[in-house]
Structure 1
Amino acid sequence: MVGAFAGVTTVGPGERSARAHHRRNPALLSTALPRAGLTLALLFALAAPAAAQAPLYSGLGGDQGYGTECLFRNDDRSSSAIDITPAFPSGLRFFDSTFTTVYVNTNGNITFGGGVSTYTPDAFPLSRTPTRPMIAPFWADVDTREAPGSGTCSTESAGTCSGGDNSIWWHLEPNRMVVTWHEVGYFSCNNDLRMNFQLILTGVPSCGGGATDFDVEFRFNRCEWETGDASGGSGGFGGTPAQSGFDAGNGRDYVAIAGSRTDGIASRLCTMSNVDDTGVWRFQIRSGTVVCPEAGEFCDTGMMGVCAEGVTQCVGEGTACQPVVPSSDESCDALDNDCDGAVDEGDGLCTSATAVCDRGVCVDVCFEGGCPPGQMCSEAGRCVEEGCEDVECPAGQRCVAGECQDACEGVVCPAGLSCRAGRCLDLCEDVECDPECTACFEGECIARCDLEGSAGCEAGETCTADGLCEPTACIGVSCAEGEVCRDGAGCVDACEGAICPNGEVCELGRCVSAMSVEPEMDAGMMSAEDAGMEMEEPDAGAEADAGRMVPRRDDGCGCVTPGAPREAPAGLLALVGLAWLARRRRR
């Protein structure tokens, strides 16, 4: 056991380094939530097993040091309503509601709105009526009726607190509640195997004021059984094993540790962790929603190609590493776009019927042994860029002017988009932030500029209703489709200045495949007159996939032709075969 909480470090809001132009206070930051709600079935990210289990916090008073309040010996019973305002004056906001009372249930959980006697854990999300919002470190058929060594199996009168092993305790102090299931046995009156675990709730100041956000910690010290006899078990195992996690009580939202209700869950809880601390599981409740300490961190999805780089999210059954760049149709760009382990495979990757994809670039056949200026005829009879004929680039790169370049190098995405793995994406499209505390910027939840304690916006900027700083001159300006407001320039073409990734052109502020654009003249390519350029050999034009940009026309069309080399982002090897495990703190 360890002492009380003087030296305990609690889990605060997720933090990342602040962006200079917002000068935000990192202590106010939270983690990102996916837009689709909390019903996705995802796998929980687990640390490797280790030998020792977590010590429980003691020194809290009472017979066993776990507090002075004790649940009488019973089977399937609950405490009366416990007033938690001495610890959390504003109550606790959990999913859809704010609560000022809580119920401690014998069967390894606490609930809001009433007690729960169900001994066999139902699968989350709960549908049984009435449903109660639940926090469950170990929901299983706990039976505390027999004091070890007594030989007596009987229920005590409510209000009795006889102490000893096989008992349940709780403790309240300012900003914290601790519930301990101390050396508890399982139904029916079995205490040959024990579970020893703790639930700790710690208040965290809410950036938006009002009801308290809080952190949740499960601590597992001894894990020897997982099923009661009435749940189909025998000797503490089999049947329907324990469940660990959270349920909103609304039939929809939940978070469950992977392995819940399956054999081995007890061992997993004691020997694994989501925070690299064996037997310890930590979560954050922000604006009522369960998030995880690792949510929003970059991770390795274990997938191939552009799907390799991921970001952790805490939804459904826990934390999952989801791709930053989703799978898409294969194109000629030296990337594994469809995440199947093969690069540039398949037919029809180039717009010209005579072109083929060669090392990430669409090239034509040599015409009578000749090629356009700057290109040479390879041994395979294809026109390739001079200096690239013998260059072999790693996956995710292609040769330009004799050098290997990444897929985003030199790409300038249209306003509001960012380049990842050779694609210009709206990184906030599938991210929902805590609306009271954060707003999405470039795929991450950052502190709102209107929060108390925030440095606000820079000169010439105004904090908008969505919590982001925008140029003051653009406040209230409504632009047409395909246009954006820029400080000092008003509404401008969103494609202005954009250099789309290889094989794409800018249309209405989005980079789209050149093959999907309705052809005009020569498949969307500009003529010499359109481009405002002189071309000595008009027939030398490469396909759009050749990855060369020409000056833009006044109408905002971004087109592709042979010429200057394209560039792409260093550091994206992680997306094409290397695992980018860089950890960044949340802004």
Structure 2
Amino acid sequence: MQSLNNMKIVPQLVFVVIFCVGQITSEQESTLYPYGASVGDKETPKEDDGASPEIESSVPFTFFGRTHKYLYVNNNGVVSFGVPVSTYTPNAFPLADGSPFVAPYWGDVDNEKSGTVYYRETTGSALLQRINEEMAKYFPNLHYKATWAFVATWDDVPYYQSLSKKTNTFQAVLHTDGKRSFIMLNYGKITWTTGGASGGNLLTGLGGVPAQAGFNSGDNTHYFNIPDSRTDNVININRTSNVDTPGRWVFQVDTFKAPGGCIFEANFARYNETFWKDDSCENKCVCNTDGEMKCTDESCPGFMVCQPSAWHFTCQISLGTCF
């Protein structure tokens, strides 16, 4: 982990200006749960690479076999268990140091001048009722009723060394019924991906090492990268979903379940999606509607060639093929 005392090295300024600031649509506003002073939220210190004080939860939260009662809300887009996280350049999951945390948008936030990071623990009936109604749509056969929730929201936060007015708004929601545990990652306005000390352009907030989204269990087995994490396309995360609600990802994390598809090597495959997992395209996999991956020996047809595609491989028509 990088220390709070580490010196940040800012890259040379590139004079390219992109006037493209996103807006929060009404649909994205509804994806975010209520937050702010009006609902009793607390705030983290307004400092670069800062974090909340240690938060002792009134209810244990089970995260892949481990029960946690102590949380930190970190300004750089992470809710961590047990220890604060000051690292500003996101690493790929799984993490070498085994740190367990949830990362709605792990990037170099600097809210010293603007933006607020809110958090609260709640058993309020209004919020829990909304969570339960939406969970019933995502997991219709689960019969789940949350009794506790923890909401962390990064509201209009800028990036480190920003020379623009670009800000991001996103949220992590942890909830449980005392036995089963879930996380929701909610996204509003997303307009930047990278801070200056992570190689980003100071005028655009793009380039360098972009933000990471997902979670890391700490056991080197259960971890997940939301598609396009640590790529330039992560700026479109508020248009993606695994529950057909743009700007929302939902996971069961006492065990490992994701509605809408399967998890394969920390990546998400939708129901009935097929791909080859090897670079010779000799092992074809399909995501079954029961959420399980099935892989069998099968090669590309003779008129197709094996090509990389995102995080896996696909059979594509050879440019030299005639029909």
Indicate the TM-score class for this superposition, using the shorter chain for normalisation.
Answer: 0.5 to 0.7
Q: In 1, Cα distance between the equivalents of 2:48 and 2:215?
A: 22
C-alpha deviation, 1:299, in angstroms: 1.4
Secondary structure (helix, strand or coil) at the match of 1:266 reads: helix
Encode CA deviations 1:183-213: one digit per residue, 9 max, x unaligned.
Answer: 000002556101011111121342xxxxxx2
Q: In 1, Cα distance between the equivalents of 2:88 and 2:285?
A: 42
C-alpha deviation, 1:307, in angstroms: 5.4
Encode CA deviations 1:298-353: one digit per residue, 9 max, x unaligned.
Answer: 5141679x958542688xxxxxx84x3612xxxxxxxxxx34347xxxxxxxxxxx
Where do 1:343-354 residues align within 5 Å? none
Question: Per the alignment, do residues 298 and 67 of structure 1 end up closer, same or farther by CA in structure 2, a change over 3 Å counting?
Answer: same
Secondary structure (helix, strand or coil) at the match of 2:238 reads: helix
Secondary structure (helix, strand or coil) at the match of 1:222 reads: coil
Encode CA deviations 1:204-243: one digit per residue, 9 max, x unaligned.
Answer: 342xxxxxx2111111110000000000000201100000
Q: Report the structure, 1 or 2, having the larger strand content.
A: 2
1:292 pairs with one of 258, 269, 274: 258
Residue 50 of structure 2 corresponds to 77
1:141 pairs with one of 101, 104, 108: 108
Residue 93 of structure 1 corresponds to 62
Encode CA deviations 1:381-436: one digit per residue, 9 max, x unaligned.
Answer: xxxxxxxxxxxxxxxxxxxxxxxxxxxxxxxxxxxxxxxxxxxxxxxxxxxxxxxx
Question: Per the alignment, do residues 125 and 309 of structure 1 end up closer, same or farther by CA in structure 2, a change over 3 Å counting?
Answer: closer
Question: Per the alignment, do residues 325 and 271 of structure 1 end up closer, same or farther by CA in structure 2, a change over 3 Å counting?
Answer: closer
Runs of 4+ with deviation above 2 angstroms: 56-61, 65-68, 249-253, 294-298, 306-310, 338-342
C-alpha deviation, 1:275, in angstroms: 1.1
How many residues matched? 240
1:226 pairs with one of 166, 171, 193: 193
Q: Is the 8 A contact 2:167 2:190 kept in 1?
A: yes
Q: In 1, Cα distance between the equivalents of 2:80 and 2:163?
A: 25
Instruction: Give, as a single letter, the amino acid of the residue that structure 2 aligns with 1:177.
Output: F
2:239 pairs with one of 267, 271, 281: 271
Encode CA deviations 1:2-27: one digit per residue, 9 max, x unaligned.
Answer: xxxxxxxxxxxxxxxxxxxxxxxxxx
- The structure that has the greater radius of gyration is 1
C-alpha deviation, 1:252, in angstroms: 4.5
Secondary structure (helix, strand or coil) at the match of 2:296 reads: coil
Q: Is the 8 A contact 2:285 2:296 kept in 1?
A: no
Q: Is the 8 A contact 1:227 1:241 kept in 2?
A: yes
**Is 1:107 aligned to 2:84, yes or no?**
no
Q: In 2, Cα distance between the equivalents of 1:190 and 1:201?
A: 33
C-alpha deviation, 1:73, in angstroms: 0.8
Q: In 2, Cα distance between the equivalents of 1:308 and 1:72?
A: 47
Q: TM-score, normalised by structure 2?
A: 0.67
Where do 1:537-576 residues align within 5 Å? none
Q: Is the 8 A contact 1:57 1:66 kept in 2?
A: no
C-alpha deviation, 1:96, in angstroms: 4.3
Where do 1:93-492 residues align within 5 Å? 93-128=62-97, 131-147=98-114, 166-174=115-123, 175-188=148-161, 190=163, 192-206=165-179, 213-234=180-201, 235-267=204-236, 269-286=237-254, 289-295=255-261, 299-301=272-274, 310-311=287-288, 322=293, 324=294, 326-327=296-297, 338-341=298-301
Question: Per the alignment, do residues 253 and 238 of structure 1 end up closer, same or farther by CA in structure 2, a change over 3 Å counting?
Answer: same
Q: In 2, Cα distance between the equivalents of 1:220 and 1:326?
A: 37
Q: In 2, Cα distance between the equivalents of 1:312 and 1:126?
A: 30
Q: TM-score, normalised by structure 1?
A: 0.38
Question: Per the alignment, do residues 109 and 191 of structure 1 end up closer, same or farther by CA in structure 2, a change over 3 Å counting?
Answer: farther
Q: In 2, Cα distance between the equivalents of 1:265 and 1:76?
A: 21
Q: Is the 8 A contact 1:143 1:190 kept in 2?
A: no
Q: In 2, Cα distance between the equivalents of 1:145 and 1:325?
A: 49
Question: Per the alignment, do residues 252 and 310 of structure 1 end up closer, same or farther by CA in structure 2, a change over 3 Å counting?
Answer: closer
Q: In 1, Cα distance between the equivalents of 2:290 and 2:28?
A: 25
Question: Per the alignment, do residues 247 and 308 of structure 1 end up closer, same or farther by CA in structure 2, a change over 3 Å counting?
Answer: closer
Q: In 2, Cα distance between the equivalents of 1:194 and 1:66?
A: 22
Question: Per the alignment, do residues 250 and 310 of structure 1 end up closer, same or farther by CA in structure 2, a change over 3 Å counting?
Answer: closer
% identical equivalent positions: 31
Q: Is the 8 A contact 1:198 1:220 kept in 2?
A: yes
Encode CA deviations 1:428-462: one digit per residue, 9 max, x unaligned.
Answer: xxxxxxxxxxxxxxxxxxxxxxxxxxxxxxxxxxx
Identify unmatched segments of 5+ residues in structure 2: 1-24, 124-147, 263-269, 303-323
Encode CA deviations 1:84-132: one digit per residue, 9 max, x unaligned.
Answer: 11xx2xx01112421111000000011001101000001111114xx42
Encode CA deviations 1:22-46: one digit per residue, 9 max, x unaligned.
Answer: xxxxxxxxxxxxxxxxxxxxxxxxx
